[in-house]
């Protein structure tokens, strides 16, 4: 054998010896992975509850929930001797409200509906069964961007067909946005009548930026506020001029009702509370305070903020605030008060913060506070002593640097005109027609996301595309759609030009936005004035230093407001008027982000609906 052959043989033998250990190592790694997967709990397809401690390495659960939506009534037979016997007010299916009987719309015969408390990235499978004959509805999951499933956003005739009476619609989506949120009927009147509930998406402790500020985050420490009227609300009924009371977790103090919601704490512990203003027919701001206690604000609309300590919180419809309360007072009960100055009336709600007995009572000294009141207000108001406005609060995370410049700016002028009483329109029974940029919004005849071919182009409009029927008209009724390219850096300039003093509230579906600037005008100005000032950089000074991140915003009279977001979630997303009273009163806008090819494909078998033209053979 030659020297070259010997060398080749020696190389082959050494290579074979080197390969064997590698194979053993690979097989060992495979065996380890298989073992880990075998002993790791896999997600089941049915979970009675996904409410559990959230850990970073856990598998997401598939959470199956059923919401039976039906007409019901407060103080039904299951309430027995409520309110005379307050314990009966807690009976299963007893919706006590203010102790008076009236019709309601509920999920699973509860006000609020059942809490949905899950972990970040859990898969939601929610069957909504409409048991109300002749009544259609849809459910919006506030705070969830629906990036993977825009057709699950719950906006009738935009992302889906309404759920008809005696039918079921199954919502499937990922709980991708952690924080304090809630679900509710899209129709404002259904929501005011009781169809809402908490949607709490927790994340692992190590991902919670403020986890060191509190000891407990209890599922019972969710506070849902709602206005309460004396009778069943209807889109077309003539309403009372004020709410009768404020419900706190479905209960209100009244002349006959003494049973109120109770929140339990132990002395010396720090508790995270999750507060949400879920709805009502009036949309008046509410102020919450807790006797002898301060609250440390840690999140707004589900997004963390730099902590602020305050003595009271003012918020409006759709907004959420998380706060930390330290139980450092004498062991007894304390009043949790909610007040609202609504249309000239003072409306109140009451709950109790109850200290439970503790072995540490004698070891803890009570904190005696003598501090000036300090209110946190979600308005973009001017700073003043004793008040912290939403424009003063900083987001926990910085605004992306790319949003300091925008390439799509949209100006939206909100106002109304008085309606000729002889005019036969949807709002002909009212005295005002609300509009945005002279356009009064109407819904399309078919869902524009899932059935674009069934929506006539002549019904879609914006500033640059006005239908022929609207030429020379003061106000155009049409489907207001603003187009935004995918990936655009967007700024919205909102302006309340209405003649009265009412405050508008808007919720943007599919996104959170940074509030970068605001300005209040003492005198009336026009949108042309707003644009001219903005062109000269004189409208307001924009804040790029960690501006707060929200999805719901308040807009008082003569206020201009600037918000920014990156258009990275393709779909049709509504800027929703929170005071619509029903489906719309004309002040909604649809943002089409991207083209249809950018959007998630519609699932097979998705329900369709729309107009129908009778068969031709009758015309032969």
Please give the tally of structural domains in the chain. 3
- Residues facing 547 on adjacent strands: 394
Say if 2 falls within a structural domain. no
Same domain, 375 and 427: no
Same domain, 448 and 337: no
Go through 412-424 and write b for each residue having 16 or more CB atoms within 10 A of its CB, e for each that does not.
Answer: bbbbbeebeeeee
Say if 56 falls within a structural domain. no
Same domain, 24 and 76: no
Same domain, 380 and 415: no
Same domain, 241 and 164: yes
- Residue 579 exposed, middle or buried by CB count within 10 Å (0-12, 13-18, 19+): buried
Asked whether the beta carbons of 210 and 179 are under 8 A apart, the reply is: no
**Which pLDDT score is estimated for 281?**
85
pLDDT tens-digit map of 575-600: 999 999 889 999 999 999 999 999 99
Same domain, 143 and 218: yes
Q: Which of 389, 423, 447 is the last residue of a domain?
A: 389
pTM, entire model: 0.89
Say if 593 falls within a structural domain. yes
Say if 54 falls within a structural domain. no
- 28: enclosing H helix or E strand: helix 3-39
Residues 6+ apart with CB under 8 A from 602: 151, 449, 450
Same domain, 379 and 422: no
DSSP-derived 3-state class of residue 21: helix
**Which pLDDT score is estimated for 473?**
87
Q: Which of 355, 389, 423 is the last residue of a domain?
A: 389
Same domain, 383 and 412: no
Tokens 């909102």 appear where? 494
Say if 47 falls within a structural domain. no
Same domain, 361 and 468: no
Structural domain boundaries enclosing 200 = 62-389
Tokens 């206690």 appear where? 293
Say if 396 falls within a structural domain. no
Same domain, 383 and 429: no
Residues 6+ apart with CB under 8 A from 87: none
Which CATH number characterizes residue 126's domain?
2.60.40.420
Angle (CA) 333 256 234, round 5°: 110
Same domain, 305 and 410: no
Q: Which of 363, 389, 415 is the last residue of a domain?
A: 389
First-residue to last-residue Cα distance in the chain: 101
Say if 300 falls within a structural domain. yes
Same domain, 195 and 331: yes
Asked whether the beta carbons of 378 and 319 are under 8 A apart, the reply is: yes
SS (H, E, C) 162-188: CECCCCEEEEEEECCCCEEEEEEECCH
Say if 376 falls within a structural domain. yes
- Those residues of the chain that have pLDDT short of 70 are 1-18, 21-22, 24, 26, 30, 32-48, 234-241, 357-371, 420-430, 618-620
């Amino acid at each position: 054998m030659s020297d070259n052959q010997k060398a080749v043989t020696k190389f082959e033998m050494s290579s074979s010896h080197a390969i064997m250990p590698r194979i053993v190592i690979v097989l060992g790694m495979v065996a380890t992975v298989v073992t880990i997967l075998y002993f790791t709990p896999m997600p089941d397809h049915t979970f009675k509850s996904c409410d559990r401690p959230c850990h970073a390495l856990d598998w997401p659960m598939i959470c199956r929930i059923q919401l039976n939506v039906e007409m019901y009534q407060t103080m039904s037979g299951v309430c027995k001797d409520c309110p005379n016997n307050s314990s009966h007010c807690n009976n299963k299916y007893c919706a006590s409200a203010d102790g008076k009987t009236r019709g309601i719309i509920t999920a699973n015969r509860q006000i609020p509906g059942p809490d949905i408390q899950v972990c970040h990235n859990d898969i939601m499978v929610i069957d909504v069964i409409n048991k109300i004959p002749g009544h259609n509805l849809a459910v919006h999951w506030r705070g969830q961007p629906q990036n993977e499933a825009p057709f699950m956003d719950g906006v009738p005739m935009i992302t889906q067909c309404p759920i008809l009476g005696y039918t079921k619609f199954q919502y499937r989506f990922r709980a991708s946005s952690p924080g304090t949120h809630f679900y509710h009927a899209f129709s404002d009147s259904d929501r005011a009548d009781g169809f809402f509930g908490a949607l709490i998406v927790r994340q692992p402790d190590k991902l919670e930026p403020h986890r060191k500020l509190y000891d407990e985050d209890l599922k019972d420490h969710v506070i849902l506020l709602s206005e309460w009227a004396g009778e069943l609300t209807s889109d077309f009924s003539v309403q009372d001029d004020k709410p009768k009371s404020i419900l706190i977790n479905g209960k209100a103090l009244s002349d006959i009702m003494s049973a109120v919601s109770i929140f339990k704490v132990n002395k010396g512990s720090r508790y995270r509370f999750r507060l949400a203003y879920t709805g009502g027919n009036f949309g008046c701001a509410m102020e919450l305070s807790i006797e002898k206690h301060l609250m440390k604000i840690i999140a707004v609309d589900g997004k963390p903020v730099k902590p602020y300590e305050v003595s009271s919180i003012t918020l409006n419809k759709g907004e959420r605030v998380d706060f930390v309360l330290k139980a450092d007072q004498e062991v007894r009960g304390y009043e949790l008060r909610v007040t609202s100055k609504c249309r000239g009336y003072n409306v109140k709600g009451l709950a109790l913060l109850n200290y439970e007995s503790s072995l540490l009572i004698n070891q803890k000294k009570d904190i005696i506070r003598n501090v000036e009141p300090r209110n946190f207000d979600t308005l973009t108001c001017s700073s003043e002593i004793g008040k912290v406005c939403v424009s003063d609060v900083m987001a926990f995370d910085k605004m992306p640097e790319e949003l300091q410049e925008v390439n799509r700016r949209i100006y939206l002028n909100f106002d109304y005109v008085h309606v000729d009483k002889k005019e036969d329109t949807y709002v002909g029974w009212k005295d005002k027609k609300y509009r945005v940029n002279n356009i009064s919004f109407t819904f399309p005849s078919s869902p524009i996301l899932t059935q674009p071919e069934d929506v006539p182009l002549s019904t879609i409009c914006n500033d640059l595309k006005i239908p022929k029927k609207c030429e020379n008209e003061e106000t155009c009724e049409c489907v207001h759609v603003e187009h935004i390219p995918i990936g655009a850096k967007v700024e919205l300039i909102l302006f309340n030009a209405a003649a009265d003093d009412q405050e508008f509230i808007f919720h943007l579906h599919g996104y959170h936005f940074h509030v970068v600037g605001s300005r209040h005008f003492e005198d009336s100005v026009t949108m042309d004035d707003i644009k001219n000032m903005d062109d000269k950089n004189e409208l307001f000074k924009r804040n790029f230093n960690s501006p707060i991140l929200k999805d719901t915003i308040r807009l008082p009279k003569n206020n201009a407001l600037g918000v920014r977001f990156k258009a990275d979630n393709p779909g049709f997303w509504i800027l929703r008027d929170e005071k619509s009273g029903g489906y719309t009163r004309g002040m909604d806008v649809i943002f089409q982000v991207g083209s249809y090819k950018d959007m998630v494909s519609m699932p097979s078998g998705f329900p369709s609906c729309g107009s129908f033209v009778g068969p031709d053979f009758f015309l032969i």
